Amino acid sequence: MKSFTVSRRSMLLASAASVAALGIDGAAQAPRPPKPQGDPQPGPPTPDQIRRLAWWRAARFGMFIHFGLYSVYGRQEWAMEKEAIPISEYQQLAKRFNPQPGAARAWAKLAKAAGMKYMVMTAKHHEGFCNFDTKLTDYSSMKQGPKRDLVREYVDAARAEGMRVGIYYSLMDWHHPDGAKCAIDEAARKRFVTYTHGLVRELLTNYGKIDVLWYDGSSPLNAEQWESERLNRMMFELQPDILVNNRNLLPGDFSTPEQRIVAAAHGAAWESCMTLNQSWGYDSADDEWKSSRTIVQNLISCARDGGNFLLNIGPKGDGSIPEETVRILTEVGRWLETNGDTVLKSDPCQPWRPSYAGFTRTGNTLFMHVYFWPGGDVSLSGLQAKVKSARLLKTGQPIQFTQDLYRVHLVGLPMEPPDFPATTIVIECDSVPMQNSDPELRLAKPRGGVGIEA
Ligand code: GLC
């Protein structure tokens, strides 16, 4: 391998040059595009969006799959950039990229077992390697590595398990010769946008019905420079029912809060995407796994606020799924077998206290999902609706309770949690369950002879 040493002087010169490029010392600035101001948010859904979003809102829970050359390297999908790996060195990973046949089928089976209803797989991540058959570059899984069309295998596998099919596509590209240059050179931008639109066209032409196009990585261009309006028009010509996210810098059909759960304003559709450990792409050293309880909690929080949950897996380079991933998703799936309808078919819900439980609702029925089982009794404060009955979902056991203005007190419960990783209590009410947790209530509360009555 060619090696070279970097003198202190050349390092200083290089950093002086980059400072100059930033215009910090007043040197002539290279033309730079305006920085994108964060992803735009979709507004209230239009009738056409309501129609296209119907299956997606009902699906609620999906699997995100980050898979590419970085899966072989095993240090997350940003390794190429974060470790400044030279392109010539990085692309050698393709030689070792040879996922087992049937790997995608195992992902889809796991998604189904976990109670998920759709999948979104990386067709091309920021590294630039295309996991599909394309006429536009040789940097693809068809021409290198496995010499197979991995998107085809994924699409077929997802459909075989009854999953809706989403495709992730990174606009940003660290490998393409124009991927960085496009920011400062108009001819390069034109070439790169033609390439980008061309790849999207292939993805939306060659694989039958695609349900979601999940853009990412809009750097270094803005919506106008990506020609995103034209891109979306082409997408809807090719796939009239498709859903598109907001990361090609147009509002799209749904917003994409990342690693956090934040409901969108105006009833707009939103999907929280999250990792299962701390990495999207496979990281052999990352053992920071979330528990199945945390996943159930997050799914409940999304459902409570009317959003979707897209949970990531990062298969290894051979396509196999890390053991912990299988264990966690299987536990979640088992819980959903009994509790699924209370989460996946619920309406937005207002109650939120106490902190050891989460809530979902269907009509007048409140589902209290207790994460940290306190023992023989469970309480709920400030419920405005009158409780008609309560029972444990897992066993059907009816629950005795008392209710006054301030508290519903559920008693006679088992000391050990009847379900894992959360126990659902079904609380039938006489109207839509709302909770009043207003601190003002304390003023009105009778003191029962303790201290001085107001
Ligand atoms: C972040 C990561 C990117 C990942 C994406 C998923 O933007 O940088 O690698 O694909 O999240 O939402």
Write out the DSSP string of 120-136: EEEEE-TT--BSS--SS
446 band by pLDDT with thresholds 50, 70 and 90:
confident
For residue 110, the one-letter residue type is L
Contacts for 327 with CB less than 8 Å, ≥ 6 apart: 292
Segments of the chain assigned to CATH 2.60.40.1180: 357-440
> For residue 75, what are the β-bridge partners?
283
pLDDT of 7 strictly over 90: no
Q: What is the 400 CA–ligand 1 centroid distance (Å)?
A: 48
Distance CA 253, CA 272 (A): 14
Q: Average the pLDDT over each of 10-24, 42-56, 95-109, 265-279 and give the range with the smallest value.
A: 10-24
Testing ligand 1's pocket by substitution, the residue of 216, 219, 283, 311 carrying the most ligand atoms inside 8 A of its CB is: 216
pLDDT at 448: 87
More confident residue, 21 or 388: 388
Query: Which residue puts its alpha carbon closest to atom 8 of ligand 1?
Result: 78
Q: What is the 152 CA–ligand 1 centroid distance (Å)?
A: 23
pLDDT at 18: 44
Testing ligand 1's pocket by substitution, the residue of 65, 215, 258 carrying the most ligand atoms inside 8 A of its CB is: 258
Dump pLDDT digits (tens) for 153-192: 999 999 999 999 999 999 999 999 999 999 999 999 999 9
pLDDT at 440: 84
Dump pLDDT digits (tens) for 301-336: 999 999 999 999 999 999 999 999 999 999 999 999
Distance CA 2, CA 92 (A): 15
What is residue 278's DSSP assignment? S
pLDDT of 15 strictly over 50: no
338 band by pLDDT with thresholds 50, 70 and 90:
very high
Helix residue ranges per DSSP H, 2-95: 8-21, 47-59, 69-73, 79-82, 87-90
pLDDT at 337: 98
pLDDT at 108: 99
Dump pLDDT digits (tens) for 110-121: 999 999 999 999
pLDDT at 23: 41
What's the mean per-residue pLDDT of the chain? 92
Q: Which numbered atom of ligand 1 lies nearest the CA of 312?
A: 6
Strand order in the sheet with 308-313: 243-244, 212-216, 164-170, 118-124, 61-65, 308-313, 269-274, 254-255
pLDDT at 26: 40
216 lines ligand 1 (CB under 6 A): yes
Please name which of 428, 266, 341, 263 lies closest in space to residue 61, comparing C-alpha atoms: 341
pLDDT of 38 strictly over 90: no
Query: Which residue puts its alpha carbon closest to atom 11 of ligand 1?
Result: 258
Distance CA 366, CA 124 (A): 42
Size of the chain in residues: 454
Query: Which residue puts its alpha carbon closest to atom 4 of ligand 1?
Result: 280
pLDDT at 14: 45
CATH for 357-440 is 2.60.40.1180
77 lines ligand 1 (CB under 6 A): yes
Average pLDDT over residues 143-148: 98
pLDDT at 76: 98
SS3 47: helix
pLDDT at 454: 52
Q: What is the 413 CA–ligand 1 centroid distance (Å)?
A: 44
- What tokens were used for 235? 């997408």
214 lines ligand 1 (CB under 6 A): no
Segments of the chain assigned to CATH 3.20.20.80: 37-340
pLDDT of 361 strictly over 70: yes
Average pLDDT over residues 276-284: 98
Distance CA 42, CA 47 (A): 14
CB of 304 closer than 8 Å to CB of 95: no
Dump pLDDT digits (tens) for 429-441: 999 999 998 888 8
Which string of DSSP letters, residue by residue, matches 318-375?
A: TSPPPHHHHHHHHHHHHHHHHHHHHHHTPBP-----STTEEEEEETTEEEEEESS--S
31 band by pLDDT with thresholds 50, 70 and 90:
low
Q: Percent of the chain, pLDDT > 90?
A: 87
Q: What is the 312 CA–ligand 1 centroid distance (Å)?
A: 10
Q: What is the 258 CA–ligand 1 centroid distance (Å)?
A: 8
274 lines ligand 1 (CB under 6 A): no
User: What are the backbone dihedrals phi and psi of residue 415, each rounded to the nearest 5 degrees, phi first?
Assistant: -75, -30
CATH for 37-340 is 3.20.20.80
Q: What is the 180 CA–ligand 1 centroid distance (Å)?
A: 18
